[in-house]
Structure 1
Amino acid sequence: MAMNRSKKKQQKKKHPIRNAILITLGLLLVTGTAFAAFFYQTARVNIDKTYAPLETSKNQAEASRAISENKPLSFLIMGLDSRQEDLSGRTDSLMLVTVNPTTKQTTMVSIPRDTFIEAADGSITASNKINAAYVQGGAAASIAAVNQLLQLDIDHYVTMNFSGIEHLVDALGGITVNSDLDFKVDDMTFHKGENTLNGKEALAYVRMRHDDPRGTYGREKRQQEVIAAILSKIKSPQSLTAYQGILEALGGNVKTDLTWDQMQKIVLNYNQAFGNVVHESIQGQGQMLNSLSFQVVTEDEKTRVRNLLQEQLAQ
């Protein structure tokens, strides 16, 4: 059961949300011992399992050059609603991230999973929800849907099976979150305030939506909070003793079109940008279309978010 700590502690400064793979690689780069050499090889084996280029991916030489030249980058990070290691299923979470080493800023924009996407033939079905794109065509289709929504050209992608959160949290010995409401999920109770969670509880915490008056937006906030808590633990020296479990969780539950060499360059060249994270959300309006519930994003809101991102992607 999630534990509520009765005595309120002074709130700690939140660590910025970063890509789990990059944080793990960052640990490799600062560990300069014989132990680190073994750690490096173990990491390489597991991280190589995450590599999954797309036919639509940008030319690798061009992508590597952009990273080497410290150009701004964009990533679509997808949390998948799947318990299978093949990472099938719908996207349960969509976050568009830009990283600008010149402004030293990372911008993270959450996209509601029920966001309405127009079909080419004008039809309206459940497939018009942006989270259905992954079922239809994998990461490439999700990237195309977000590009269509915001008229962008996304550079890279990362997918993570949310069930992998269980393995990560358990490997780390649990995480601490600060819930802003009381609720129950099955036999698990979460109290308002500080809660210490194991892997199963962390997954339930990020999935809950119906008991939250904010609906999808409340769940997005909890997802970001859990990711931040995981990464805070990963960055701690104590995580080195749990490296095997961490890497196995990543290798079996993460896919990306980033190569090992590209990841290392990003860790080195974009580190300062990861220390300054701005959080945004696309704000939709709940509407019923053809008896289906959607979040419809106005053109003004699309323009606002697009301009925000394009400003960060400018040289």
Structure 2
Amino acid sequence: MSKSRLTNKKTKKRKGLRIALIIFILLLLGIVAFLFSIWWNAKQTVDDEIHQGIDSIDTTVAKDKINKGESLNVLLLGVDERKNDSGRSDALMILSIHPDDDSIQIISIPRDTRAEIVGNGTTEKINHAYAKGGANMAVDTVEKFLNIELDYYVKVNMEGLEGLVDAVGGVTVQNELAWVDSGYYKKGYAYKEGEIHLDGAQALGYVRMRKQDPEGDFGRTKRQRKVIEAIINEGASFGSVTKISDILDVLGTNVETNMDFTDMQNLFLNYRNTRKNINTYMLEGQAQIIDRVNYLIVSEEEINKVHDMITK
């Protein structure tokens, strides 16, 4: 082979390497730009649309706990809110996040639980707290009822649950009761016993049903916890990165929380392993009619038991 042909071959090889390197750099820049746009859009959505501070929680304490990797308690409020209606918290749960043993405890408080409504001077159903005084009164009421400290609250409009489930690509749950929905949301849909995959409308019907369940509201809260757990797992999966725009659209119009974007970011980074071990429990009590109103009366023993589960 002549010297000139050898030189040309080396030149073409170097040129090919340069082109490959340029393509790699462009791809890398594209990925960085994509990830930055996701980060920026998420930050804007959380801080401008979702974040809502309340007087009853001092988030400086919670921020310090996150930085130290300590346990956190989050009040989840599933609220029915329609136009010209303040709504009631039909789903009320405490999400206790324990990084020391990488676990999450989801504790449901039945909506008929009789409790002192702090700031209102009455003793009635605990889900009335949100209707009478919003998230502030709901937080104060739950804190006093269980003698705990809440670090954050998250309020979700139940109508937005449908969009959120669709945004993460649906959820899979283990269904313990077969029934055909006769309600408004997914009328005629048959929920089979066993593992089922639900889209948004099916998930909403799944957490709404109560009358066909022998356990009534207790059965409904079980299904609510199943869907919450499924959303946590789907939302935390890598595949959800491609769905982040849809998720943010739903969150921006249906979720309110006193977490800012930095809180969420640090929570995800420092507590990401806790979702691998999720336990659920529902506050137990005795049904009782007082002044012609149905209540769930919870004993001091049960309250102390749940208090210890949360503050372990």
Instruction: Give TM class, smaller chain.
Output: 0.7 to 0.9
Partner of 1:161: 157
- Cα deviation for residue 131 of structure 1 reads 0.5
Q: Is the 8 A contact 2:96 2:310 kept in 1?
A: yes
Deviates more, 1:49-58 or 1:192-201: 192-201
Counterpart of 1:235? 236
**Aligned residue identity for 2:79:** L
Give the structure 2 partner of residue 6 of structure 1: none
**Alpha-carbon distance, 1:87 to partner:** 9.0
Larger radius of gyration: 2
Q: For residues 119 and 51 of structure 2, what CA distance do their matches in structure 1 show?
A: 34
| Alignment match, 1:181 | 177
What pairs up with 1:230-269 in 2 under 5 angstroms?
Answer: 230-269=231-270
Q: How big is each residue's C-alpha offset from its partner over 1:223-270, in whole Å with a ceiling of 9 and x where there is no partner?
A: 122223333333344433322111111111111111111111111222
Classify 1:221/1:50 alpha carbon distance in 2 versus 1 (closer, same or farther; 3 Å). same
Tell me, yes or no, if structure 1 residue 68 matches structure 2 residue 64.
no
**Residue of structure 1 in register with 2:53 after alignment:** 53
2:142 corresponds to: 146
1:47 counterpart letter in structure 2: V
User: Counterpart amino acid of 1:94?
Assistant: L
1:104 to partner: Cα distance: 2.7
- Whether the 8 Å CA contact 2:76–2:94 is kept in 1: the answer is yes
Aligned pair in 2 of structure 1 residues 292, 94: CA closer, same or farther (>3 Å)? Answer: same
Structure 1: segments with no counterpart, 5+ residues: 1-31
Counterpart in the other structure of 2:132: 136
Instruction: Look up the match of 1:28.
Output: none
- Partners of 1:175 and 1:196 within 8 A in 2: yes
Give the Cα separation in 2 of the matches to 1:103 and 1:194.
28
Query: Are the structure 2 counterparts of residues 106 and 169 from structure 1 closer, same or farther at C-alpha, using a change threshold of 3 Å?
Result: closer
Give the CA deviation at 1:120.
8.1
SS of the equivalent of 1:62 reads helix
Letter in 2 for 1:135: A
**Is 1:117 matched with 2:115?**
yes
Query: How many pairs are equivalent?
Result: 277
From the superposition, tell whether residues 294 and 108 of structure 1 become closer, same or farther in structure 2 (CA, over 3 Å).
same
CA distance in 1, matches of 2:239, 2:56: 40
Q: Secondary structure at the match of 2:311?
A: helix
Name the structure with the higher helix share. Answer: 2
* Residue of structure 2 equivalent to 1:108: 106
- Conserved? CA contact 1:80–1:89, under 8 Å: yes
**Mean Cα displacement is larger for which, 130-139 or 143-152?**
143-152
Letter in 1 for 2:311: Q
**Cα deviations across residues 38-95 of structure 1 (Å, max 9, x unaligned)?**
111111122221110002221x4333222212222211111112245x9931001111
In structure 2, what is the Cα distance between the partners aligned to 1:99 and 1:202?
A: 25
Equivalent position SS for 1:163? helix
CA distance in 1, matches of 2:103, 2:240: 26
Instruction: Please give the secondary structure, in 2, of the residue aligned with 1:33.
Output: helix
SS across alignment from 1:185? coil
1:211 aligns with 2:181: no
Query: Is the counterpart of residue 89 in structure 1 residue 83 in structure 2?
Result: no
Separation in 2 of the partners of 1:246 and 1:121? 35
2:86 alignment partner AA: S
Instruction: Give the alignment's TM-score, normalised by structure 2.
Output: 0.81
Do 1:112 and 1:217's aligned partners in 2 also have CA atoms closer than 8 Å? yes
Greater RCO (Cα-Cα under 8 Å, separation 6 or more): 1
* Matched residue type, 1:69: K
